[in-house]
A and B are shown apart, each in its own frame.
Chain A
Amino acid sequence: MSQNTTVKIDRPGSWEDGRAKNVTFVVTEDCQLACRYCYLVGKNKSGRMNFETAKKAVDYLLREEKFLAEKSVVLDFIGGEPLLEIELIDKICDYFKLKSYELNHPWFDSYRISFSTNGLMYSDKRVQEFIRKNKTHLSIQITIDGTKVKHDTQRVYPDGRGSYDNVLKNIRLWTSQFPETSTKVTISGDDIPYIKESVLHIWSLGIKEVNINAVFEDAWKPGDDELFEEQLTELADEIIEKKLYKEYTCSFFSRTIGHPYEQNVNWCGAGKMLAFDFKGDIYPCIRFIEFSLQNRKGIIVGNLDKGIDENRLRPFLTLDMVSQSPDECINCDVASGCAWCQGANYDFAETGTIFRRATYICKMHKARVRANNYFWNKLGRRLKTDLRETNPDTCQC
C-alpha cells in the first residue's frame, strides 16, 4: 500500500459520490437549544410540518421528472431539531417507501434518510424504533462541538445552560450503532482556543470524521486568524506525531485547498438541492427560508400546488464562481477550498442578490491554508513523499 492511501485525514465518505438529489424536509422550526452561532435566527414553535403537506411533498418528488432526474435521493430531515418530530418523520419515510414501491420508482431502492440532530432525544424509544426500522438506509449525525468547554460556549439551552452533558449521554449509543459516522463542528470566534483539544476529544469519543466550518458571518476580530492558524498548526503536529492521519478524518486538512482556482464552479449546491417548509413552499435550500435570514425575505422557487417555477431556479443553476466573486477572489493564489454559503451571501449582500459573495471569511481561509501547507509539507517529509495535489473546487457541504 502506498503512503498516500494510508493517509485518511482528508478522505471523508460520501454516498453516491455526492451525486444524489438532496431533498430537505424542514419538519419543524423549533429546537430545544438556542445555540449562539445558529443561523436559524427565527426559530419558533408554530412552524411545524403536518403529514398532509409532507405527503404532497413526497408525491411531488416522485412525480416531478424535469428537476429531479437524479438516480438516487437523500431525504434530509432538518429543523430546528428534527427529532422533535420523529413520529412525523417515520410516517413520511413509510409513505415514501410505499409510494416509490407502488410507482416502481428508481428511488425505491436508492435512497438515504439523513438527519443532523443535537442528539438530546437520541435515546428516546421512538427514535430508537425508527433507527431499528430504517438502519440500512440511515445516516444520523449528532452535533458535538468538541470539549465540554467548547461545546457549552455555544450550544446552550435558552436559559444559558450548556448542553454537553446531556448530549454526551447519547454519544456512546450513537457511535455503537453508527461506527462510521461523523460530526460537524462550527467555529465562531470565542471558541478558537479550543479547536485543537476539541478535535482530539471528538476522535477520542469514537467519532472518526470531524467536519469543521468557520462561520460565514462578519464575526471575526483582528488576531482571530493568527490564533486560528496557531491552533491548526498545533493540531497538525499532534496528528503527525501520533500518526492519527491513518485513522481519522478532519476537514481542516485537505490536499485540494490553497491553490489558485482552476475551474469556474459554484461552491454551494443551493438550487441543485431543494427544501420544503411546513407551508408547502419550495426553496433552493434551508438557508433561503425566512427563519434562516437576518436581513432579507426568503426566496421561494415554487410550491407543492404549482410545482417549481423554473425561472426562479435559473439564477441558482447558472451561478458560477466568477459571476459572484470580487476580482481579489478570482485572482487569489490560495483560493481553492475557500467556502461560501449562497444563503449567507444573499443575506449579507448590499442588494437582494445571490450573485455577490461575502468575504468575511477571507483571513480565516488564508490562515487555514498556511496551517494546511504546514501539515502536508511536514507529513510529506516524514513519509518521504509529496502529498500535495490540486483538485476541482467542489463543495464539501
Chain B
Amino acid sequence: MPMLKYLIIILNDASVSFCHYESAKTGKKEAGMISYDNLNKAVAFALKNNLKVNFLYPRFRPGKKYEKLIEDVEHVKIVPRKLGGVYSDAITVLEAGDLRKENKVTGTENIILRLSSPELKILPAAVKEIARKGGRINLVIKDVENFGDSKISEYRKLLAEISGLLIKKSGENSIPEVNFLTDRLMLESMNNCDAGITHLTVAPDGRLYLCPAFYYESGENSIGEIRNEINIKNRQLLELKYSPVCRICDAYQCRRCVFLNWKLTGELNTPSRQQCRMSHAEREASGNMLEELKKKNFKGAKGIEIKKLGYDDPFEIAVKNRYSIQEFKNFNS
C-alpha cells in the first residue's frame, strides 16, 4: 500500500487553487495567513516524516520569517500568475484570464492551467505555445459537473484537434506533454491523485484535510490535528481496491478526484458519470493518437496498448459484471 509522501500546505486562505476547487477570492494578508506556529508545526511534521511539501502561495510573498521556514524543507512552490516570475523554482497556475491578458503562455515551461468548459476553446493556442517551449500543461477543468452530453461531444472534438497538434509536434521519442492526452501513453497502471494516501493538506487553520478542496468546502471536513498518529476514518475508501467502478477501469490518466466524487455522488470512492465519461473520452483520444503515432514510428510509448472499448462509462460494466471475491482478494493497489 502506498504511504504518505508529501504534504500540501495552504499558506493563506486566498492561496492559488491548483485543482478543482475555488479558494477564497479575497484575503487580507494577515487575516487569512496560516499562523507561524502552525506553519512551523507542519514543516516539522514534514521533516520528521520524510515528506516533501507543496506550498500554495497567495498573490503576495509571505514575508521573510515565513520564507526562511519554507526553505528549511524540500518543497515545490505553486504560485499564481502574479508571482510567476518571482521564484525560479515555482510552478505557475494560470487561469483563462492570465492567458488572455498576455495572449500567450509566459514565464514557465511547466504550468497548471485551470479552465472552465466555455474557456476550453483557448486550449489549442496554449498547447501550441507550450509545445514550442518544450514544456508541459497540466489541465484542470473547473466545472466537471457541467459535462453533459453536448459538452462531452464538444470535448471529444477538442481532444481530436489537440491530438492532431501534438502528433505534428512529436519526434521519434518525444511528444509535447499535456496531461489529459499524453499521460495515458506512458502509464501502465492508475496514476491517481491519491489524496489522503500519498499526501495530506495542512490548511491555514492549522488542521489536516484530505486535500485543499475539503478545507474550502467546510472546516468540518478536517481529519484532525497535526500529530504523529493520523487516523483517517474509513481510509480504505480512498484506495482503488475499494472503488467498484475505478478498480476495473484503465483510464489510467484519470486523477480520480475523491473530492469531486464525494461532492457529486456523496461517496469518496464513487466517480460521477461526468468524470468517467470525460476520462474515457481522453482515453479514447489517447488511443487514437497512439495509433497515428505508431504510423510515424513513435517509440515513446513502448509496450502501451489502449484497446477500443464498447462503453464510455465503466459504471455500466461495474453494475453488470460484479467483481468476484477472488479478484478482490488478489487485487494489488
Q: Nearest Cβ in chain A — how far from B219, in angstroms?
A: 16
Is A311's CB under 8 angstroms from B269's CB? Answer: no
Whether, in the assembled complex, B319 has its beta carbon less than 8 Å from a beta carbon of chain A, the answer is yes
- What mask results when residues 317 to 359 of chain A are scored 1 for a CB within 8 Å of chain B, else 0? 1111111000000100000000000000000011111111000
A residues near B266, Cβ cutoff 8 Å: 299, 312, 315, 352
Kindly state the separation between the CA atoms of A352 and B234 in the bound complex, as whole angstroms. Answer: 10
For the complex, what is the distance from the CA of A293 to the CA of B270, rounded to whole Å?
A: 23
B173 to chain A, nearest CB (A): 40
Q: How many angstroms from the CA of A40 to the CA of B117 in the assembled complex?
A: 44
Closest to B274 in A: A311
> What residues on B are CB-neighbors of A314 within 8 Å?
245, 265, 270-273, 315
Which residues of B sit under 8 angstroms from A264, Cβ to Cβ?
Answer: 322-325, 328
Distance of A355 Cα from B268 Cα, bound (Å):
10
Given A311-B273, A312-B266, A350-B233, A318–B315 Cβ distance below 8 Å? yes
**A351→B267 contact, CB < 8 A:** no
Q: 1/0 per position for B313-333, CB-CB distance to A under 8 A?
A: 001001100111100110000
The tally of residues in B whose CB lies under 8 Å from a CB in A reads 27
The residue of chain B having its C-beta at the shortest distance from the C-beta of A319 within the complex is B244
Whether B242 sits at the interface, judged by CB under 8 Å, is yes
Docked pose: A262 CA to B322 CA in angstroms: 12
Q: Is A294 an interface residue (CB 8 A)?
A: no
Partner of B264, one of A311, A319, A351: A311
With A314-B245, A314-B265, A351-B234 in contact, is A265–B322 under 8 Å at CB?
A: yes
**Contact, CB under 8 Å: A315 / B267:** yes
Q: Is B243 an interface residue (CB 8 A)?
A: yes
Does the CB pair A355–B269 fall under 8 Å? yes
Contact A322 B323 (CB under 8 A): yes
Residue-wise interface mask of A (290-301) relative to B, using a CB-CB cutoff of 8 A (1 in contact, 0 not): 000000000100
Tell me, rounded to whole Å, the shortest Cβ–Cβ distance linking B318 to chain A: 5
Query: With A265-B322, A314-B245 in contact, is A323–B269 under 8 Å at CB?
Result: yes
> Does B304 have its Cβ within 8 Å of any Cβ on chain A?
no
Chain B nearest CB from A349 CB (Å) reads 7
Judging by beta carbons under 8 Å apart, are B237 and A353 in contact? yes
Is the CB of A237 closer than 8 A to any CB of chain B? no
CA distance A312 to B270 in the complex (A): 9
Q: Which residue of A lies closest to B269 (CB)?
A: A355
A334 to B: closest C-beta gap in Å: 15
Query: Are the CB atoms of B244 and A323 closer together than 8 Å?
Result: yes
> B233 contacts A322, CB within 8 Å?
no
**Minimum Cβ distance to chain B for residue A96 (Å):** 28
**CB of A260, distance to nearest CB on chain B (Å):** 9
Q: Specify which chain B residues have a CB less than 8 angstroms from the CB of A299 in the assembled complex.
A: 266
Within 8 A of B (CB), among A228-280: 261-265
In the complex, residue of chain A having the shortest beta-carbon distance to the beta carbon of B237: A355
CA of A266 to CA of B80, assembled, Å: 47
User: By the criterion CB–CB under 8 Å, are A317 and B323 in contact?
Assistant: no
Smallest distance from the beta carbon of A286 to chain B beta carbons, Å? 18
Give bound CA distance, A345 to B267, whole Å: 14
Q: For residue B323, which residues in chain A have a CB less than 8 angstroms away from its CB?
A: 264, 320, 322
**Of the residues A262, A265, A312, A352, contact of B265 by C-beta under 8 Å:** A312
Q: Is A190 an interface residue (CB 8 A)?
A: no
Chain B neighbourhood of A265, CB < 8 A:
322
A263 engages B233 (CB within 8 Å):
no
> Which of B242, B273, B329 is in CB contact (< 8 Å) with A310?
B273
B264 close to A349 (CB less than 8 A): no
Instruction: Identify the interface centre among A261, A265, A315, A319: most chain B CB within 10 Å of its CB.
Output: A315
A354 and B322 contact, CB distance less than 8 A: no
CB distance from B208 to the nearest CB of A (A): 15
- Known contacts: A264-B325, A264-B328, A320-B322. The answer to whether A315 contacts B233 by CB under 8 A is no
A318 to B319, CA, bound (A): 5
Contact yes or no, A323 B242, CB < 8 A: yes
Neighbouring B residues of A320 by C-beta, 8 Å: 244, 322-323
- CB-nearest residue of chain B to A331: B329
A310 to B270, CA, bound (A): 12
Task: Tell me whether A263 and B319 are in contact in the complex, defined as CB-CB below 8 angstroms, given that A314-B270, A350-B234 are known contacts.
Answer: no
Chain A positions within 8 Å of B234 at CB level = 349-351, 353, 355-356
Given A349-B234, A353-B267, A356-B234, 7 further pairs, Cβ under 8 A: A262-B325, A310-B273, A312-B266, A318-B318, A351-B234, A353-B237, A355-B234
* 12 A-B residue pairs with CB within 8 Å: A262-B325, A263-B322, A264-B323, A311-B273, A312-B266, A315-B270, A317-B315, A318-B318, A320-B244, A322-B328, A353-B234, A356-B234
